[in-house]
Amino acid sequence: MPLDLTQDETLKQALQAIEPRKKNPKWLAALDEFLPYVQQADLATRSSREFHQKLWEDNPVSGVGMGTVDITSALDDAGFRQWLAEASLAPLPETVEERVSHFKNLHNELATRLKDFSSRTPWVKIFRVLAAFFPRYFSTITYSRMSLECHKALFGPQGSRDSIVVQAELMIRLEQILGVCQDDFGELAERMTLPWYLYETHVYAASRDKETETTSQQGGIQLKPLPAMQRRKGFTSIRGGIATLLSAISFVETGVSREELMDHLRAEFPDLKESSLRTTINVLKNEFYVIQEKDNSFTPTTRGEVFLASNDPQELIPLIITRTLGVDHLLKLLQEDPSPSSELVLRLQQVNPGWTSDFGPRVILKWLKDFDLLQADSLGVYSLTEAGRSWAEQIDWEPESLPRNDAEEVPETLSPSVTLDIGALDQAALLEGVTGKTAFSRHIVSQLHIGLWAHPRRHFAILAGLSGSGKTLLAKRYGEALAAQYSETPSQNLFIQAVQPGWYDPTPLLGYINPLQPDTYVRPPLLDFLLRAAQHPDQPFTVILDEMNLSHPEQYFAPVLSAMESGDQLRLHNEGDAFDGVPDTIAYPANVAFVGTVNMDETTHGLSDKVLDRAFTLEFWDIDLTSYPNWGGHGLGVDQVKHTQDCLQALAEVLSPMRLHFGWRTVEDVLTYLALASKNNGYGFAVMLDDVIYARVLPKLRGSESARLHDTLQRTMAVLEEHGLSRSRAKVASLRNDLAESGMMRFWR
Q: Is the pLDDT of residue 412 over 50?
A: no
pLDDT score, position 219: 56
Alpha-carbon span 432 to 481, nearest angstrom: 9
Q: Of 73-77, 207-211, 681-685, which gets the smallest average pLDDT?
A: 207-211
587 and 676 assigned to the same domain: no
Concatenating the DSSP letter of every residue in 322-364 gives HHBTTHHHHHHHHHHS-EEHHHHHHHHHHH-TT--SSHHHHHH
Q: Is the pLDDT of residue 402 over 50?
A: yes
611 and 641 assigned to the same domain: no
pLDDT score, position 410: 45
What's the whole-number mean pLDDT along residues 108-122? Answer: 90
400 and 442 assigned to the same domain: no
pLDDT score, position 453: 92
Confidence of residue 411 (pLDDT cuts 50, 70, 90): very low
Q: Is the pLDDT of residue 416 over 70?
A: no
Alpha-carbon span 689 to 693, nearest angstrom: 6
Q: Is residue 635 part of a domain?
A: yes
Alpha-carbon span 215 to 562, nearest angstrom: 50
CB 28 within 8 A of CB 20: yes
Start-to-end Cα distance in the chain = 49
Give the C-alpha distances (Å, rounded to integers) separating 350 from 357, 474, 581. Answer: 12, 37, 17
398 and 253 assigned to the same domain: yes
Confidence of residue 671 (pLDDT cuts 50, 70, 90): very high
Of 121 and 518, the structure prediction assigns the larger pLDDT to 121
Q: Is residue 1 part of a domain?
A: no
pLDDT score, position 271: 83
User: Quick one: three-class SS letters along 266-322?
Assistant: HHHCCCCCHHHHHHHHHHHHHHCCCEEEECCEEEECHHHHHHHHHCCHHHHHHHHHH
What's the whole-number mean pLDDT along residues 399-418? Answer: 59
What's the whole-number mean pLDDT along residues 637-653? Answer: 91
Give the C-alpha distances (Å, rounded to integers) separating 77 from 80, 88, 278, 387, 574. Answer: 5, 17, 50, 22, 56
Structural domain of 605: 422-620
Per residue in 525-551, pLDDT tens? 999 899 888 888 889 999 999 999 999
Of 473 and 409, the structure prediction assigns the larger pLDDT to 473
What's the whole-number mean pLDDT along residues 111-115? Answer: 93
325 and 237 assigned to the same domain: yes
Q: Is the pLDDT of residue 400 over 70?
A: yes
Alpha-carbon span 696 to 669, nearest angstrom: 8
> Residue 495: which H helix or E strand, with range?
strand 494-498
Where residue 707 falls (left for φ over 0; alpha for ψ -120 to 50; beta otherwise) is: alpha
Highest mean pLDDT among 306-320, 383-397, 505-519: 383-397
Quote the strand ranges of 518-637, DSSP E: 521-522, 541-546, 570-571, 578-579, 582-583, 585-586, 592-598, 616-620
Alpha-carbon span 146 to 63, nearest angstrom: 13
Dihedral sign, CA of 268, 272, 278, 279?
negative
Last residue of a domain, one of 406, 440, 467: 406
244 and 383 assigned to the same domain: yes
Percent of the chain at pLDDT > 90 equals 44
Q: Of 200-209, 308-317, 611-620, which gets the smallest average pLDDT?
A: 200-209
551 and 640 assigned to the same domain: no
β-strand 512-513 against 570-571: which pairing, if any? unpaired
What's the whole-number mean pLDDT along residues 416-426? Answer: 74
pLDDT score, position 72: 92
pLDDT score, position 65: 60
Q: Is the pLDDT of residue 346 over 80?
A: yes
Concatenating the DSSP letter of every residue in 86-151 gives HHHTSPPPSSHHHHHHHHHHHHHHHHHHHTTT-SS--HHHHHHHHHHH-TTT--S--SHHHHHHHH
Alpha-carbon span 232 to 687, nearest angstrom: 61
pLDDT score, position 90: 94
CB 261 within 8 A of CB 248: yes
608 and 684 assigned to the same domain: no
Q: Is residue 333 part of a domain?
A: yes
Q: Is the pLDDT of residue 438 over 80?
A: no
Last residue of a domain, one of 569, 586, 620: 620
Find all residues with CB under 8 Å of 299, minimum gap 6, and list them: 252, 253, 254, 255, 291, 292
314 and 372 assigned to the same domain: yes
What's the whole-number mean pLDDT along residues 481-506? Answer: 91
Confidence of residue 413 (pLDDT cuts 50, 70, 90): very low
Q: Nearest to residue 283, comparing CAs of 218, 357, 345, 370?
A: 370
CATH number of residue 339's parent domain: 1.10.10.10
The SS3 assignment for 42 reads coil
Highest mean pLDDT among 3-17, 209-223, 227-241: 3-17
Q: Is the pLDDT of residue 312 over 90?
A: no
Per residue in 272-296, pLDDT tens? 888 888 888 888 888 888 999 888 8
User: Quick one: three-class SS letters along 56-77?
Assistant: HHCCCCCCCCCCCCCCHHHHCC
Q: Is residue 224 part of a domain?
A: no
What's the whole-number mean pLDDT along residues 695-713? Answer: 90
Q: Is residue 731 part of a domain?
A: yes
**DSSP-derived secondary structure letter, 456:** S
**DSSP-derived secondary structure letter, 491:** G
Alpha-carbon span 495 to 526, nearest angstrom: 7
Q: Is residue 411 part of a domain?
A: no
Of 110 and 231, the structure prediction assigns the larger pLDDT to 110
pLDDT score, position 157: 81
Find all residues with CB under 8 Å of 153, minimum gap 6, and list them: 2, 5, 6, 198, 199, 202, 203
Our CA angle for 332, 337, 339, nearest 5°, is 95
- Total domain count for the chain? 4
Helices 123-133 and 163-178 pack at an angle, to 10 degrees, of 40
In DSSP terms, which residues pair with 11 in a beta bridge? none
pLDDT score, position 414: 44
91 and 163 assigned to the same domain: yes
616 and 637 assigned to the same domain: no
Per residue in 156-167, pLDDT tens? 887 777 899 999
CATH number of residue 480's parent domain: 3.40.50.300
Q: Is residue 723 part of a domain?
A: yes
Concatenating the DSSP letter of every residue in 193-246 gives HHHHHHIIIIIGGG-GGGGTEEE-TTS-EEE-PPPGGGSB-S----TTTHHHHH
Average pLDDT of every residue of the chain = 87
Alpha-carbon span 669 to 659, nearest angstrom: 20
Find all residues with CB under 8 Å of 6, minimum gap 6, and list them: 153, 154, 155, 156
Q: Is residue 412 part of a domain?
A: no
39 and 184 assigned to the same domain: yes
Helices 242-251 and 258-268 pack at an angle, to 10 degrees, of 140
Last residue of a domain, one of 218, 238, 264: 218
